[in-house]
Amino acid sequence: MEIILNSSKASSISATVNFTDREIELQGWLILMTRYRDNKPIPVTLEKGLYDHFRYYWTENRLPAILESDFLERLPHQLKRTLIIHYMFDDVVHNFRTFFQPQRYA
C-alpha cells in the first residue's frame, strides 16, 4: 500500500515538473526518506531546498569532467597538479585560502 501511495505522489509531482533522470532518482530517495518518519511528508520548503542544492551541484560539479577522461592520467604529476589547483579549482582554493594554504602548492 505504501509503495502505491508513494508512487502516486511521484506520478502527480512528475506530471507537473519536467524531471531529469537524476531528479527522478532524488525524488525516489526523498520518498524513501519519508518511510522513516511514518510517511510524514517532507516540508515543501525543505524539499525545494534539496532540489535546488542538487540542481546546482549537478550543474557546477567539475569532477566528472576531470575524472571521466583518461587525459588527466596521462599528464605528469606537476602538470596535473597545476591544472587542478591553479585552473580547475582556483576559485575554491582562493575562497578557502586560509584552509588550503596555497603557498604550499605554488
DSSP code per residue over 39-96: TPPPPHHHHHHHHHHHHHHHHH--HHHHHT-SHHHHS-HHHHHHHIIIIITHHHHHHT
d(CA 69, CA 4): 41
Helix (H, G, I), strand (E, B) or coil at 1: coil
pTM of the model: 0.57
> What tens-digit pLDDT sequence spans the chain (106 residues)?
344 444 444 444 444 456 689 999 999 999 999 999 999 999 999 999 999 999 999 888 888 888 888 888 899 999 999 998 889 988 888 888 778 665 665 5
Domain extent listing, the chain:
2-60, 63-105
